[in-house]
Amino acid sequence: MAFRRLPSPTALQPTALIPRPQLLTADSLPPSFLPPHHSPLKIMASPPSLRLIYFNFGGRAEAIRLALFVGEVEFEDVRITEEEFRQRKAEGKYPFGSVPVLEVDGVVYAQSVGILRFVGRLGGLYPEEPLAGLAIDQIVGGVEDMIVATVPYLFAPETDKPLMKEKLEKDVYPRFFSAFEKLLHADGEGFFYGKHLTIADLAVYPVLQWITTSIVDKESLDPYPLLKALFATIEGHEKVKDYYEHERLRAEKEGEGAGEGRGEES
């Protein structure tokens, strides 16, 4: 398992986690590999400057923020309002007209799953071996499917919500929870892959937290002991606790402005 060891909590040096790949230039790559915004192409010659742009709540950026924080990767956490989102969208600032987006050395990249995978690599939370990456990607994809299955409930008329909630509770969530449980059992290490946190664990945690506090009861995890244990493990992780304490203090400082905005997410 080609995995980089995570640093101790006291080793707060994000740049130590970022490999320094060989420089590639336009002369060494075929034309089809050259993105239009890089000429000549230089890949990660030094730790990149990162700006994560999203609304002032967790949503689809929560796992990304967690991965950056837990992986000790330096970044600027840019929280925008609904008005700012609409203005920047109209100006064509977002590739797909949605957020979150990640600015890497001034270049904007979209899509939350791709961003999560990228920052996971930077923070040592994503494996170098391709098959291990596939094992993690299937979890992240499952989480995305679970979010997509939940979204209609959020925006449904109040009269429709009881039946939709019942379907989520009895049919939809058990299907995903059961799949996660089986994958945890197959790995046997307590996490979705190996003995350390990965982006798979950090993708699952905030969604389970959201679902079991806003839609169904926490007891819905009782039939899935490994998934419930993973939830407790992540919740008790020192860096995760530090992140949520940081968020609590930030929200207190900002007051009523926290949580503004919905916009479009991806």
Looking at the fold, whether 191 and 60 belong to one and the same domain comes out as no
The pLDDT assigned to 233 comes to: 96
Q: Which domain does 53 fall in, by range?
A: 48-126+238-266
The CATH number of whichever domain residue 254 belongs to comes to 3.40.30.10
Alpha-carbon distance of 132 to 118, in angstroms, equals 15
Helix (H) or strand (E) holding 103: strand 101-104
**Residue 12 falls within a domain, yes or no?**
no
Q: Quick one: which of 237, 172, 173 has its CA closest to 202?
A: 237
Looking at the fold, whether 242 and 121 belong to one and the same domain comes out as yes
**Residue 35 falls within a domain, yes or no?**
no
Q: What is the tally of structural domains in the chain?
A: 2
Looking at the fold, whether 99 and 229 belong to one and the same domain comes out as no
The pLDDT assigned to 45 comes to: 60
What count of residues does the chain have? 266
Q: Quick one: which of 125, 110, 115, 111 has its CA closest to 201?
A: 125
Looking at the fold, whether 196 and 71 belong to one and the same domain comes out as no
Looking at the fold, whether 202 and 120 belong to one and the same domain comes out as no
The pLDDT assigned to 46 comes to: 79
Partnered with residue 76 across adjacent β-strands are 51
Looking at the fold, whether 117 and 247 belong to one and the same domain comes out as yes
**Residue 93 falls within a domain, yes or no?**
yes
**Residue 26 falls within a domain, yes or no?**
no
Looking at the fold, whether 182 and 264 belong to one and the same domain comes out as no
Residue with tokens 């923070």: 123
**Residue 21 falls within a domain, yes or no?**
no
**Residue 208 falls within a domain, yes or no?**
yes
Looking at the fold, whether 191 and 148 belong to one and the same domain comes out as yes
The pLDDT assigned to 262 comes to: 53
Q: Quick one: which of 192, 207, 236, 257 has its CA closest to 59?
A: 207
Q: Quick one: which of 211, 207, 209, 183 has its CA closest to 112?
A: 207
The pLDDT assigned to 11 comes to: 37
Q: What are phi and psi of 111, to 5 degrees?
A: 80, 115
Instruction: Chunk the chain into consecutive blocks of 10 residues (it has 266) and report each block's average pLDDT, rounded to whole numbers.
Output: 43 37 38 40 70 96 98 97 97 97 98 98 96 97 97 96 97 98 90 95 97 95 97 96 95 67 63
Contact 17, 71 (CB under 8 A): yes
**99: which DSSP letter?**
B
> Is the pTM value of this prediction over 0.95?
no
The CATH number of whichever domain residue 211 belongs to comes to 1.20.1050.10
Looking at the fold, whether 247 and 215 belong to one and the same domain comes out as no
